[in-house]
Amino acid sequence: MAIERIPKKSPLKRLGLLGVGIIFVYLLFVGYAYLASPVAIRNPSFQHYHLRLQILVNGKTENFGDKKYQVATPKDVCNVALAKEPLHFHDNKDQMLHVHWDGLTGGGILKYYGWNYVGGIDNALGFRFDQLPKIEKVMVHGRDLPAVPKDMKFYVFVGDTDGYKERNFNTFLHQDLEDFLGKQSNIPESSNAGVNLWNTLFPKAYAHDGHEHTSENEEELKRLNNLIGNIVIFAQKDKPSADQIKARFKNLEPLGTSTCAG
């Protein structure tokens, strides 16, 4: 009986199949990375506003002036080139959060510092697709926020020294921060170009000391700092008392009087 021989695949065909397999796996990765990345991360665009953020866990206030949260002050703060990091704290200041990418949500902020309540990639906000063919992973800053027991609830308040109101935590997680706070940044959408921030946007996005422009008027300072609001988050079993909430809005980080800083 004749033995049927199975023809061997040529090296060229094997190489072709390997190439097809690699392309297939790469496309799977690209699809996953794209779907796992919020639009604000997938296609980042320039922004530059500030907000004050306070977080208390079981009554203990997190100090964002601590070294683990701080980054070096950016050197190119007077232009509108897209910042490498979507947000950060610097100048050793507590509370004052600098937001440099448009469309960020409260959930993105919490995830960036270690609390992931929005899912997606655990150790990253997502992937950037604005520099194709390069796809860049946007890592979180770290797991810096303290652990929260499962029986804790989150209470979110927005306001200032004149008053406050409670907001839904889930809305905070998923809504653009400008919409959540009901105040739009002074930075126009058309500002995503490499030009001087002072010449084109004054007075917009500042919050630093050491520059010329000064003011003692609170509303003027908010405008100079492009401050869109103040957020206080309590993580605890029971709802905080009115006195506890008022104390946080009476303890806001003072606004600087400078211009042209990150």
Domain membership flag for residue 195: yes
Residue 23 is assigned to a structural domain of this protein: no
- The 10s digit of each residue's pLDDT in 85-127 is 999 998 899 999 999 999 999 999 999 999 999 999 989 999 9
Residue 150 lies in a domain: yes
Look up the pTM and report it: 0.83
Residue 27 inside a domain? The answer is: no
As for how many domains the chain has, the answer is 1
Domain annotation covers residue 40: no
- Long-range contacts of 137-142, Cβ-Cβ distance < 8 Å, separation of 24 or more: 138/37, 138/41, 138/86, 140/111, 140/112, 140/113, 140/114, 141/69, 141/85, 141/88, 141/112, 141/113, 142/68, 142/113, 142/114
Domain that holds residue 105: 45-124+142-249
pLDDT tens digits, 2-49? 566 656 667 777 777 777 777 777 777 778 888 899 999 999 999 999
Q: Name the burial class of residue 235, with classes exposed (0-12), middle (13-18) and buried (19+) by CB atoms within 10 angstroms of its CB.
A: buried
* Any domain includes 186: yes
Q: How far is CA 39 from the centre of its chain?
A: 12
Give domain status of residue 67, yes or no: yes
